[in-house]
Amino acid sequence: MSTIFDVKALSDGDMDQLDLFIKADGKHRSFYIHWVPDEVTEDFVKQWFSTNIGLGKVTSVDFVKRKTGKDRMMFVHFAEGFYANINGENTLAMYMVANYPNAYDLPVALQPDDTQDKWCYLQCRINLNAPPPVVEYNTLQLTGMVDRLRKELEDVKEQMSQLLKQQTA
Rounded Cα distance between 32 and 21, Å, is 15
Rounded Cα distance between 96 and 18, Å, is 10
Rounded Cα distance between 18 and 26, Å, is 15
Check residue 94 and give its pLDDT: 66
Band (32; pLDDT cuts 50, 70, 90): confident
Greater pLDDT, 9 or 123: 123
Mean pLDDT of the chain: 76
Check residue 109 and give its pLDDT: 75
Q: Which of 130, 47, 56, 44 is nearest to 92 (CA)?
A: 56
Band (161; pLDDT cuts 50, 70, 90): very high
Per-residue pLDDT tens for 72-120? Answer: 888 888 776 555 444 555 566 666 767 777 888 877 777 655 555 677 8
pTM: 0.60
Contact 33, 74 (CB under 8 A): yes
Neighbours of 82 (CB within 10 A): 27
Residue 151's alpha-carbon distances to 69, 143, 163, in angstroms, are: 39, 12, 18
Q: Which of 109, 113, 128, 134 is nearest to 49 (CA)?
A: 109
Greater pLDDT, 117 or 59: 59
Residue 38 has pLDDT above 50, yes or no: yes
Band (31; pLDDT cuts 50, 70, 90): confident
Check residue 55 and give its pLDDT: 74
Check residue 60 and give its pLDDT: 84
